[in-house]
Amino acid sequence: MRDSVNNIWSALQQPPLMVVLYDDYGLLESVQEEVASIANPSWPVRRVSTVDEALSTPADTLALLAPADEGATIEELDGGRDRFVDRTVPVVVFLLRGGSGERALAKAPSLLSWVRSNLIDPSEQDQFDPDAAREEFIRYAGKTPEEWLAMRRRGEIDGSPESLGLTYRALLLEGSDDLA
């Protein structure tokens, strides 16, 4: 199963560079925190804003690079990507989705060939698909969310943790087929 948490964890295992997109500047800090929280807790974390600062961090440090000039930073990384070759923990580059940095990636073949599979777009990857979620619920529970909730209200569902989890998911999905 792929979601942004899985993708971030996977990319963190594969230094030297990865890219995470964010939606607006107000979310940048929380996205950085999310990445740091998924990373190995034994890794030191440094927040940096330039390529030179990222280069100066130890190879075993998680460097969170949020550049002010994203386009120029991508060009610099494209021209000097190999300076990071010996890192054991990645540098994570944060780019505004659809911004100058992401656009510059399309003209940065050297960098893109390194980060192609380590390019995370949480907002896109975590888009909720109600149809898929309903199908998964029905496959797992053998009932629609509405049927499950009706049984719950009639007291026909036990109080096991698994049942409580399913009830919570059913509440989220209740009526979601009306949305389609």
Select from 28, 45, 50, 83 the one that contacts other proteins (CB under 8 A).
83
| 70 lies in the binding site for other proteins (CB under 8 A) | no
x/- letters, 12..41, toward other proteins (CB under 8 A): -xx-x-------------------------
DSSP 22-88: ESSHHHHHHHHHHHHHHS-TTS-EEEESSHHHHHHS-TTSEEEE--SSHHHHHHHHHHHGGGGTT-S
Select from 39, 48, 63, 78 the one that contacts other proteins (CB under 8 A).
78
| CB distance 133 to 173 below 8 Å | yes
| 107 lies in the binding site for other proteins (CB under 8 A) | yes
Select from 30, 37, 56, 117 the one that contacts other proteins (CB under 8 A).
117
**In Å, how far from its chain's centre is CA 1?**
13
| CB distance 91 to 17 below 8 Å | yes
Binding site for other proteins (CB under 8 A): 1-2, 6-7, 9-10, 13-14, 16, 51, 75-76, 78-83, 85, 102, 105-107, 109-110, 112-119, 121
